[in-house]
């Protein structure tokens, strides 16, 4: 879908009972839902739509999905998020909720206002000076359909030299971002685990949380590994 303003109308016209929303429509979907969960309100973006009593309710399962996916890493106290879209909002929220000091770096000032209002440290490419971060997280689509990096290469090299972990929300591709992480021997992950965890939470929402989450994940993991 090219026009995010049509997402709820499309959901209703197809007579869906549930759906996932992906980039770049998560913030548009949030604005267009009949109502949203408390967590989605905190974040300001939704990635899951559920029909409840003929109303489209928006949820955010990205936040918890991401946090579950980084539990295999070691202790993380500081994080740098590249990008300022809906996924960045979800990840910054859950990191902050778990006392991880989080900084947002975006190409321009566009979209940074929402993070400033929530007292996050924010920078643009023009005013950012590289320093130590435990984890570097790419939330941009860079590398998904191209060979682009999410940040100026020289700045990213300096960050990778000093980081402990790297995470790219893009999944199913060994992106240039992850290639750099591998070059510097950083433990890294793509978005596959995040996809699994957020999808299992979303699936349970479709069925009013009547299933065991761990069991859902086991079945979904088997399906992902077969693809």
Q: Find, among 110, 113, 156, 111, the residue nearest to 137 by Cα.
A: 156
Dist. CA 207–CA 17, nearest whole Å: 10
Q: For the whole model, what pTM was predicted?
A: 0.91
Q: What is the pLDDT of residue 221?
A: 84
Domains of the chain: 1-60 (3.40.50.10860), 64-189 (3.40.50.720)
pLDDT of 4 over the 80 cut = no
Closest CA to 54 of 26, 85, 15: 15
State what percent of residues in the chain have pLDDT above 70: 97
* Active site amino acids: 26
Number of Cβ within a 10 Å radius of residue 204 = 16
Can you tell me the distance from the alpha carbon of 102 to that of 167, in angstroms, rounded to the nearest whole number? 14
How many H-runs (helices) and E-runs (strands) does the chain carry?
10, 10
Question: Rounded CA gap, 51 and 187, in Å?
Answer: 39
pLDDT of residue 1: 54
């Amino acid at each position: 879908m090219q026009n995010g303003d049509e997402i709820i109308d499309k959901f209703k016209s197809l007579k869906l009972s549930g759906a996932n929303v992906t980039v770049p429509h998560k913030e548009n979907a949030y604005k267009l839902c009949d109502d949203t969960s408390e967590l989605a309100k905190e974040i300001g973006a939704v990635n899951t739509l559920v029909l409840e009593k003929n109303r489209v309710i928006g949820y955010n399962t990205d936040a918890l999905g991401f946090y579950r996916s980084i539990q295999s890493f070691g202790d993380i106290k500081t994080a740098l998020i590249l990008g300022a879209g809906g996924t960045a909002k979800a990840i910054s929220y859950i990191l902050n909720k778990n006392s991880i000091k989080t900084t947002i770096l975006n190409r321009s000032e566009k979209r940074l206002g929402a993070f400033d209002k929530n007292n996050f440290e924010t920078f643009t490419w023009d005013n950012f000076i590289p320093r130590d971060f435990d984890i570097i997280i790419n939330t941009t689509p860079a590398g998904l359909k191209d060979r682009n990096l999410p940040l100026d290469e020289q700045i990213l090299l300096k960050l990778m030299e000093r980081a402990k972990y790297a995470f790219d929300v893009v999944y199913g591709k060994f992106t240039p971002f992850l290639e750099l992480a591998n070059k510097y021997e950083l433990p890294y992950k793509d978005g596959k685990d995040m996809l699994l965890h957020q999808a299992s939470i979303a699936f349970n929402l479709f069925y009013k949380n009547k299933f065991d989450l761990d069991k859902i994940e086991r079945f979904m993991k088997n399906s992902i590994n077969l693809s």
